Amino acid sequence: MVSPPPLVGISTSEVRSPGDRELVSQGEPARTELALGERYLDAVRAAGGMPVILAPVSPDSVETLIGRLDAVVLSGGPDLHPSAYGAIPHPQLGPTEPDLDSFELALARAAVTRGLPVLGICRGMQVLNVALGGTLYQDLPSQWEGGVLKHRQDTPKWQPTHEVEVGDGSYIARVMDRGMVKVNSYHHQAIRDLADGLVVTGRSSDGVIEAVESRDLSQRWLLGVQWHAEAMRGAGPQQERLFEAHVSAAEHHALRRAAA
């Protein structure tokens, strides 16, 4: 009997206001909407998983949601509100969605507690870090003293604009089979204080943290990348391998859950 594909929940952080899209006469009326790029879904499906788009729920309902999943992808999106890590808003802080922050932070913590594999992408890596007790730079251009790279590119997402050096012997180096990875860059926030339980496994040439993973992946499968790996599928096999590794970890979790 063939096992069903593991269920991989994908968070949705981007909020679009009624004025963000052009209306057509036959279309729906203007309204606030949540949006998620299809490439997240494509990446999970191509790796053998079943993507499930997660609608925000109250933090006290997250346990009910998480109990039906085999893994979680924390997607990209807007800035995290600094109240999540006890900081005062910076003048260059971008738009935030505190209610979505609360949901995703609760989702990340519940996934870690239950031992679900978690892959954080861009904002998602930042959410994972904050959920575990870390902090962020709210605005890299003004707060990162060593900044020499442009971390928010103007070119298409599939196009790499800088390199990330990944640590020898790290999990991500083994998965991507590279010591240096070409990546895209669409962020102006980044990890400041690293959370306990995570280790830095990738940095850009100006020192910004670009990849993290669990200190002990055999106990907790946690991986975060600052770039949009889902948007670079097709540019080489390395980005696909991140999702393949995540779905493989989800399959192992599903087997353990079935045997329990």
Q: Residue 59 — φ and ψ, nearest 5°?
A: -55, -30
CA distance 220 to 254: 14
Q: Which helix (H) or strand (E) holds 175?
A: helix 171-176
Does residue 228 have an active-site annotation? yes
Region label for 197, one of left (φ > 0), alpha (ψ between -120 and 50) or beta (otherwise): left
Among the options 81, 228, 246, 253, which is catalytic? 228
Given the residues 81, 104, 122, 210, the one annotated as active site: 122
CB-CB contact of 199 with 215 (8 Å): yes
CA distances from 117 to 56, 69, 168 (A): 19, 10, 22
- For residue 241, the tally of other CB atoms under 10 A from its CB is 18
| Sign of CA pseudo-dihedral 178, 172, 183, 231 | positive
Buried b (16+ CB within 10 A) or exposed e, 107-145: bbbbbbeeebbbbbbbbbbbbbbbbbebbbbbbbeebbe
Nearest-angstrom CA–CA distance, 10 and 119? 10
Per annotation, catalytic residue among 97, 230, 240, 251: 230
In this structure, are residues 120 and 72 in contact, taking their beta carbons and an 8 Å threshold? Answer: no
C-beta separation of 227 from 210 below 8 A: yes
Residue 122 is among the residues annotated as catalytic for this protein: yes
Catalytic residue annotation: 122, 228, 230
